[in-house]
Amino acid sequence: MFAARRTFAGIAQTRAFSASARDLSKVTILGAAGGIGQPLSLLCKLNPRVTDLALYDIRLAPGVAADVSHINTKSKVTGYDPTPSGLAAALKGAEIVLIPAGVPRKPGMTRDDLFNTNASIVRDLAKAVAESAPDANILVISNPVNSTVPIVAEILKAKGVYNPKRLFGVTTLDVVRASRFVSEIKNTDPRDENITVVGGHSGVTIVPLFSQSSHPDLVGNADLLNRVQFGGDEVVKAKDGAGSATLSMAMAGARFAESLLKAAQGEKGVIEPTFVDSPLYKDQGIDFFASRVELGPNGVEKIHDVGKITAEEQTLLDACLGDLKKNIEKGVAFVAQNPGK
Ligand SMILES: NC(=O)c1ccc[n+]([C@@H]2O[C@H](COP(=O)([O-])OP(=O)(O)OC[C@H]3O[C@@H](n4cnc5c(N)ncnc54)[C@H](O)[C@@H]3O)[C@@H](O)[C@H]2O)c1
Ligand SMILES: O=C(O)C[C@H](O)C(=O)O
């Protein structure tokens, strides 16, 4: 492993990679003891690309770290106490910071109902990232993603360290769900189903583009569309008050982190739909949008546009943009009105 890493460093030099193609890949999870955080920690421990795993939470992170650290893979695992210095140490040198900290939904709630609690949690964690890991790729999982990502951006801007190429709202679960649900209808292997999902991460802002898949006949399938847009509600209802998707989300978050690490280590053509600072609808006042994004050593390499879609999909996109604009504005306004300490 170590030799392989040295070899990689050599290749990196000959290909003139930037300093961001690091020899060590430290991944930090903020909210590591939660329903998502624990299985996400497990999956990161199993990933040979991760060399250091730093686990932080306001409770139980050292315990989770002790547990995960017994797994016989090479990476070092450290749990940190919920103190400012613990948080700073967890973040220092991180290449990837995953943020699943915050409260989940209960039945009857929308993701936006989480805003009042999660906005300040994410704001304060973003400040810590700005101070201790300004060059990290930041992967925001905490809901409502359509608003929490703009909150992080505003904090990074205020701290003078905003790099739009390194901030990602994790929408991978929508893509994972879409491929799974399509495979159930078509009786195929979900791993072969590549469904692009654009927009944001809540209700009608989640827009699957079946016309671009190998099953264009699925455009107009109202049940399938509803399941993709409201898949999160399906889990919230089934868990009956005990939270929302955690295991599938951990898988989705680990997949996105793995894609970023692959791209950072020189792999080409790594593409994931993700919610980023995007030029696609800025002319309509919408600064963030999820579309297919090619990842590279510097984070965002290329943002693909939405491409050719049907009139029906355009109607879905129009509904998405209206909601998305409001969600983004809410995040930006929150930081302006509540800058915190
Ligand atoms: N992006 C997505 O697709 C997606 C999918 C599922 C869930 N989510 C969201 O992820 C979030 C977490 O969900 P969960 O099921 O893991 O919730 P959870 O309550 O099980 O875990 C959240 C963890 O965050 C910790 N936490 C709270 N405040 C913190 C702080 N200031 N610093 C560090 N840690 C802190 C808690 O102690 C807890 O361990 C929710 O907001 C949920 O809506 C997003
Ligand atoms: O639905 C939720 O509240 C959690 C998450 O955003 C999901 O899509 O499962």
Q: Does 213 share its domain with 264?
A: yes
Of 13-22, 222-231, 319-328, give the lowest mean pLDDT range. Answer: 13-22
8 occurs within a structural domain: no
9 part of a folded domain: no
Which of 124, 154, 170 terminates a domain? The answer is 170
Question: What does the alpha-carbon distance between residue 177 and residue 192 come to, in Å, rounded to a whole number?
Answer: 13
**Is 60 exceeded by the pLDDT of residue 21?**
no
In percent, the amount of the chain with pLDDT more than 70 equals 93
pLDDT score at 229: 98
Q: 196 in a domain, yes or no?
A: yes
On the question of pLDDT at 257 being above 60, the answer is yes
Going by pLDDT thresholds of 50, 70 and 90, the confidence category of residue 12 is very low
Residue 308: what pLDDT? 98
Both 161 and 274 in a single domain? no
Question: 166 CB under 6 A from ligand 2?
Answer: no
Domain boundary among 144, 170, 196: 170
Does 244 sit in the ligand 2 pocket, CB within 6 Å? yes
Under a CB-based contact definition with an 8 Å cutoff, are residues 45 and 51 in contact? no
Return the bridge partners of 169, or none.
Answer: 140, 275
**202 and 140 housed in the same domain:** no
Ligand 1 site, residue 143, Cβ cutoff 6 A:
yes
pLDDT at 11: 31
Q: What is the pLDDT of residues 288-332, one digit of tens each?
A: 999 999 999 999 999 999 999 999 999 999 999 999 999 999 999
CA of 32 to the centre of ligand 2 (A): 17
- One domain for residues 186 and 292: yes
In a domain, 77, yes or no: yes
Ramachandran region of residue 283, left (φ > 0), alpha (ψ -120 to 50) or beta? alpha
Which residues, at least 6 apart from 72, have a Cβ–Cβ distance to it below 8 Å? none
Q: What pLDDT does residue 341 have? A: 83
By percentage, how much of the chain surpasses pLDDT 90? 92
* Tens-place pLDDT, residues 165-186: 999 999 999 999 999 999 999 9
| Shared-domain flag, residues 49 and 97 | yes
Residue 110 contacts residue 202 (beta carbons within 8 Å): yes
Single out the residue in 170, 186, 204 at which a domain terminates: 170
* Centroid of ligand 1 to alpha carbon of 176 (angstroms): 19
Planar angle of CA 242, 58, 42, nearest 5 degrees:
65
Mean pLDDT of the chain: 93
Range of the domain at 306: 171-328
> Which atom of ligand 2 is nearest to 111's Cα?
3
CB atoms within 10 A of CB 63: 13
Q: Are residues 207 and 63 in the same domain?
A: no
Q: Is residue 311 part of a domain?
A: yes
What residue owns the CA closest to ligand 2's atom 7?
232
pLDDT of residue 23: 62
Structurally, the chain folds into a number of domains equal to: 2
Please tell me whether the interface predicted TM-score (ipTM) of this complex is above 0.90: yes
Strand partners, 95: none
Q: Tell whether 75 is covered by a domain.
A: yes
Show Cβ contacts of residue 19 under 8 Å, excluding neighbours closer than 6 positions.
none
